[in-house]
């Protein structure tokens, strides 16, 4: 897939002076619920109304969506409000039913993106249509898989494409439901700058009180839009109650969000940016030099362990390093989450260097 400015045309056609906003309930529950929320959102910054019709669940027994009948509710919501309608599709049957009901926007969920067979099936069924298709990142942090999903759609001749960043699963306990791993989305953005990038703060956070914070982070990173789950009675929602906001709260979030300029042509700004970026480059070079020296010391430790037949992993020593670095990092204004992520990577690289020495 090559960069293609035509991929942005569908977004430009909205002629917005603000980022694109997709909003609506996690799940369509009843016709009256869908219509109430759609009417509450029609006079806001929302351009596309979203609602889950088919809900993938990790284990059977949970609410798996109302099914095709919900598409009729969305048809009526579109007729009454003029909002475009969006649903998640996971197979050819979903696509065919949604097409029959005039759905405007299709998104491929994280659980489906991991399955190239399913994505290919969806691409082939959508071939020849002019629908907007958005691909959520896969559950696990796999950039190639995410790009591959977009490529399958692109190769099927679908022009109106975009991606949704909804965070990645992790076994670690963090403040997020799905950790953002911003650098992965940024790498995708760098490779395909013409591919619209939308953030889903609802699934990243899993908490309505963090929606505004993560939405602002996304806008600060020059994202093109937001997908935010919105329910008129979120505490009693049939799915994902904790991460949905009311239409009134959503409108307040919009008022507080700040849209940044991509750049500035002012000479003073550019001169200061050049100076600060040069300082960053120097600091980054020092970090690489320090890490290189650290690995040389690790190799010396590995050689010493080899002479005494001592195991590579020393759990108690590793715990001490973590505790010490968390404390020192906090004194420098660095979060515990960041320190752990950095030093786990350093520790793994040290183990790899030591293993090479011991097994040589």
Task: Please list the ranges in the chain whose pLDDT falls under 70.
Answer: none
Instruction: List all residues 6 or more positions away from 246 whose beta carbon is below 8 Å from its beta carbon.
Output: 230, 231, 232, 233, 234
**Backbone torsions φ then ψ of 246, nearest 5 degrees:** -80, 160
Nearest by Cα to 156 from 123, 121, 119: 123
pLDDT for the residue numbered 126: 98
**Spatial contact of 196 and 162, defined as CB atoms under 8 Å apart:** yes
Cβ pair 82, 46 in contact under 8 A: no
All structural domains of the chain, each given as residue ranges with its CATH number in brackets, are 5-256 (3.20.20.70), 267-358 (1.20.59.10)
CA neighbours closer than 13 Å in the CB half-sphere of residue 234: 23
pLDDT digits (tens, 9 = 90+) for 180-213: 999 999 999 989 999 999 999 999 999 999 999 9
pLDDT, residue 228, reads: 98
Predicted pLDDT of residue 143: 96
pLDDT of residue 265: 81
* Interacting residues of 19 by C-beta distance below 8 A, sequence separation 6+: 219, 223, 224, 225, 226, 259
> What pLDDT score was predicted for residue 270?
86
pLDDT tens digit string along 309-329? 999 989 999 999 999 999 999
Element of type H or E holding 195? none
Cβ atoms of 211 and 252 closer than 8 Å? no
pLDDT for 63 equals: 87
Q: What are phi and psi of 169, to 5 degrees?
A: -70, 150
């Amino acid at each position: 897939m090559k960069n293609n400015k035509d991929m942005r045309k569908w977004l430009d056609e909205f002629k917005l002076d603000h980022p694109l906003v997709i909003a609506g309930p996690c799940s369509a529950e009843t016709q009256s619920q869908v219509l109430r929320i759609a009417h509450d959102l029609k006079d806001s910054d929302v351009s596309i109304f979203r609602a889950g019709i088919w809900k993938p669940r990790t284990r059977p027994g949970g609410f798996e969506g109302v099914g095709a009948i919900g598409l009729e509710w969305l048809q009526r919501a579109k007729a009454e409000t003029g909002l475009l309608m969006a649903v998640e599709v996971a197979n050819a049957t979903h696509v065919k039913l949604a097409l029959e009901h005039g759905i405007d926007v299709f998104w491929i969920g994280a659980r489906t993106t991991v399955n190239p067979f399913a994505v290919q099936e969806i691409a082939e069924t959508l071939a020849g249509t002019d629908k907007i298709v958005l691909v959520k990142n896969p559950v696990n942090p796999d950039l190639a898989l995410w790009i591959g999903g977009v490529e399958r759609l692109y190769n099927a001749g679908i022009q109106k494409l975009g991606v949704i960043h909804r965070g990645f699963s992790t076994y670690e306990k963090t403040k997020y439901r799905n950790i953002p791993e911003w650098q992965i989305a940024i790498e995708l953005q760098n490779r395909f700058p013409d591919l619209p990038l939308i953030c889903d703060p609802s699934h990243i956070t899993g908490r309505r009180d963090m929606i505004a914070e993560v939405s602002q982070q996304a806008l600060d990173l020059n994202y093109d839009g937001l997908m935010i789950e919105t329910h008129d009675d979120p505490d009693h929602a049939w799915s994902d109650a904790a991460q949905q906001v009311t239409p009134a709260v959503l409108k307040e979030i919009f008022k507080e969000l700040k849209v940044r300029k991509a750049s500035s042509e002012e000479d003073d700004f550019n001169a200061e940016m050049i100076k600060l970026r040069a300082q960053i480059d120097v600091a980054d070079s020092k970090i690489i030099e320090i890490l290189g020296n650290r690995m040389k010391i690790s190799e010396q430790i590995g050689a010493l362990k080899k002479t005494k037949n001592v195991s590579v992993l020393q759990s108690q020593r590793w715990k001490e390093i973590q505790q010490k670095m968390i404390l020192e990092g906090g004194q420098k204004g660095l979060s515990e989450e960041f320190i752990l992520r950095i030093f786990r990577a350093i520790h793994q690289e040290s183990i790899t260097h030591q293993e090479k020495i011991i097994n040589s």
